[in-house]
Amino acid sequence: MHWTKHGVGQLELVLPWKNLGSQSNVVIVEDLCLLYTAQIKVVYSKEMPEAKEQAYKKAAVEEHELARKMKSRERNRRRTKPL
């Protein structure tokens, strides 16, 4: 298993420096993206049944597509975020 994608769009900390012991500290996290996926090692051999080989290939393609979609979504989010 490994982190495929991670990021934080905005992190805001509210720390009341004069009253740290009596007032609450606030942490605001916006646009949190954590993608944790199984690391798939595909081994191809003539002994491996065709159905199992196809399942490994399909899983590898799906993992790649998901990572691509997340990257595209992140780029679009950054483009549309107001300045």
Quote the pLDDT of residue 52. Answer: 80
pLDDT (tens digit per residue) in 55-83:
888 998 998 888 888 888 888 877 776 65
pLDDT (tens digit per residue) in 14-39:
888 888 788 888 988 888 888 877 77
Quote the pLDDT of residue 22. Answer: 86
Quote the pLDDT of residue 81. Answer: 61
Question: What pTM, to 2 d.p., does this model score?
Answer: 0.37
**Complete DSSP assignment for 4-60:** EEEEEEEEEEE--GGGTTTS--EEEEEEEEEEEE--------TTS-HHHHHHHHHHH
Quote the pLDDT of residue 9. Answer: 83
Quote the pLDDT of residue 47. Answer: 66
Contact (Cβ atoms closer than 8 angstroms) between residue 35 and residue 5 = yes
